[in-house]
Structure 1
Amino acid sequence: MSSSTLFLTGGSGYVGRNLIRRLCADGHHVRALVRSPQAAAVVQALGAQPVHGDLLDPGIAGAMEGCAALIHAAADTDHRNASPSQWQTNVEGTRNVLTAARTAGVSVAIVLSSESALTTGAPLQQAREDHQYPARAAGIYGASKAEAERVAIALSTPHFAVKVLRPRFVWGRDNTTAMPYLLQAVRSGRFAWIDGGHYLTSSTHVDNLAEAVCCALTRGAGGRVYHICDGAPVPFRRLIGAQLLAYGVKPPEKQVPRALLRVFIGLDDLFRRLRLPLRAPMTRQEFASSAVEVTLDDSRARSELRYRPAVTLEAGIAMLQRQVAEQG
């Protein structure tokens, strides 16, 4: 897609900030939806035009007029959130934003989803995009992402091509989502490798996700889901350990049996059903994301989007080391 005006939700978030950097570097004009002056300052500093509004505001269609595409990156990604607010944001927010874009005459919409739409807590091995949604999701986050995908696909038409991208474990520079919590857990002594952490995982460097978004602007079909990965799966311990070292933090040796965590998760489920003000160390959603193999087949994206990872694990870690060094 030649230089165009694009509408972005979630622009002040981790993925959104990196998308603005890439899209502006490619010559696009980006309008970014923001809810606060702080968010507006962030996206403006990166080169985007802040647009004040809310995902659930039906009036945002006016702000999308003249845009060639919508990139919907906003989401409540809290894996411990069990409140209706997460469903409202992830499902109804997606419905409203896509409906507004279609009303505004936008022709392409790219929805960023998550492999959590498929996870249950059981291993997921080289899953393809047609893998069935689980009858019982691991948590509200996964259930909401699955429903948001259904909403997105249902709204796709020949004149409004909605494409869903499913990354797995987005990582890289400027990570303000998972990495701060991991660093805090390691430094406080609360982090342990589950069964040694040697099970495989797919991952998606944030620059690779941005590359996939740029590919999807002009390639791929509406009503389709695409898995986005860095390449071949790697051991979970290698992926996380390398990032910890890049931050100057030595990975711990402590381990915890997976079977013990399953007991804790059962207790957490019980606490929630009884509405007790107690929480286990790990939720079922967190377990499904980090305690078992989750690997994705990205051949559809490589074929239809002509997506190729721009950043390898080794290159991403080197970039992370440089960023940490520059920040002192």
Structure 2
Amino acid sequence: MTQVQRKTIFITGASGYIGSKITELAIADGFIVRGLSRSAKNDDKLRAIGAEPVRGSIASFDVLTVESAKADIVMHLVDTWRARFNEDYSAVVRDHNLAIDAFVKGIQGTMKPLIIASGSAVVKPDPEHNETDETSPINTEGINRRYQCEQYALDQESKGVRVYSIRLAPYVYGHGGSGIAVFMRLALQRGTSVYVGDGSRRTSTVHVNDAAHLFMLVAKQTPASSIYNCTSDDYVTVGDLAKGMAEALGIPVQSVTEEEAIAQLGPFLGKFISLENIASSAKAVRELGWKPKEAGILEDIAAGSYVVVAESLKSGSS
């Protein structure tokens, strides 16, 4: 019997919140996963889920090039947004683009897939509060310049690389992690959970498991270079999110102005909770057969993984 050659995926951020879920799915699907790792702790985490750690950082350009050249698929998920609570993103954009250069050096001319993480909030909200999609105008005056990183990566298609941008919802949730846990901790510290205005602005969400499935669908199907929104169609209001966290924590909920939100949370988070993002994932559903299956974010806060988070925060153990 002829043995089927297993494909290799090289992932930056393989031990992270989304990356670890992608790694688990990829290994279950028969892929070999080599994950960039900056520490012995991350080495152990990767080995525990069946991946092969590769020591280095996002600035280890020779490592990125060599690993990309050996891999069949490259995924870039590592969190380079260390300045996300700052107005200056120039260093983040620079570091991201240098990493892209290193990946492309290893795979140019091969038509291998390069899959990057972006965000659905890179586009302008629709003025009539309708859905946006992957063709909607970019918001060049938004809270960050992530769109510049996305465009730089997409431009590499001209070098014989298939490039895919997965635009994640503003709220990626599940397993008690990510931004919801951060907002819950901040709310408990302040004693109130806040929302902006009347709380009616809607936003997009996606469970981390569903997000990981979309990355793997792209990896396995490798269509022509493209952008896909990674959002559930269960849009929620920012008011309902704040109220859900308040109920879980047993604290009041309060409406504030955008200026007050910025004063309390800082420029990035203050603007973040003011954001409207009604982003359709119809393209991913239509072209790749992706369909979110996990419980919605409000259910997860009220009766799912964030119940444990709330209890831990209230007991002071987190």
TM-score over 0.5 (shorter chain): yes
2:139 maps to a residue whose letter is P
1:85 corresponds in structure 2 to 91
The structural deviation recorded for 1:75 is 2.6
1:185 corresponds in structure 2 to 186
> 76, 79, 83: which is aligned to 1:75?
79
Q: C-alpha distance in 2, partners of 1:243/1:44?
A: 35
The structural deviation recorded for 1:98 is 3.2
Is 1:301 the equivalent of 2:304?
A: no
Task: Give 5+ residue unaligned stretches, structure 2.
Answer: none
1:254 corresponds in structure 2 to 254
> 120, 131, 134: which is aligned to 1:115?
120
**Partner SS, residue 70 of structure 2:** coil
Q: How does 1:33-48 map to 2 (within 5 A)?
A: 33-48=36-51
Contact 1:70 1:106 in 2 (8 A): no
1:153 corresponds in structure 2 to 154
1:290 to 1:56, Cα distance in 2 relative to 1, 3 A: same
Q: What is the total number of aligned residue pairs between the two structures?
A: 303
The structural deviation recorded for 1:51 is 0.3
Q: How does 1:125-204 map to 2 (within 5 A)?
A: 125-138=130-143, 142-143=144-145, 145-157=146-158, 159-168=160-169, 169-175=171-177, 177-188=178-189, 189=191, 191-204=193-206
The structural deviation recorded for 1:54 is 2.4
1:51 maps to a residue whose letter is V
1:44 to 1:56, Cα distance in 2 relative to 1, 3 A: same
Contact 2:97 2:153 in 1 (8 A): no
The structural deviation recorded for 1:150 is 0.8
The structural deviation recorded for 1:319 is 4.7
Q: C-alpha distance in 1, partners of 2:278/2:137?
A: 15
Q: C-alpha distance in 2, partners of 1:35/1:222?
A: 32
**Partner SS, residue 31 of structure 1:** strand
Q: Normalising by structure 1, report the TM-score.
A: 0.79
> 2, 6, 12: which is aligned to 1:9?
12
The structural deviation recorded for 1:242 is 4.1
Contact 2:34 2:51 in 1 (8 A): yes
Contact 1:5 1:30 in 2 (8 A): yes
Task: Give 5+ residue unaligned stretches, structure 1.
Answer: 266-279
1:234 to 1:244, Cα distance in 2 relative to 1, 3 A: same
Is 1:320 the equivalent of 2:305?
A: yes
Q: C-alpha distance in 2, partners of 1:104/1:97?
A: 14
1:250 maps to a residue whose letter is G
2:225 corresponds in structure 1 to 223
Q: C-alpha distance in 1, partners of 2:147/2:162?
A: 19
1:193 to 1:17, Cα distance in 2 relative to 1, 3 A: same
CA deviation digits over 1:261-312, x for unaligned, max 9? Answer: 4xx75xxxxxxxxxxxxxx434444344321321102111111222111213
Q: C-alpha distance in 2, partners of 1:52/1:230?
A: 35
Identical columns (%):
19
The structural deviation recorded for 1:122 is 8.3
1:73 maps to a residue whose letter is L
1:291 corresponds in structure 2 to 274
1:128 maps to a residue whose letter is D
Is 1:22 the equivalent of 2:25?
A: yes
Q: Normalising by structure 2, report the TM-score.
A: 0.81
Q: C-alpha distance in 2, partners of 1:2/1:241?
A: 51
1:202 to 1:68, Cα distance in 2 relative to 1, 3 A: same
CA deviation digits over 1:96-128, x for unaligned, max 9? Answer: 343144149571111111124235898974111
The structural deviation recorded for 1:214 is 1.2
Q: C-alpha distance in 2, partners of 1:233/1:252?
A: 23
**Partner SS, residue 36 of structure 2:** strand
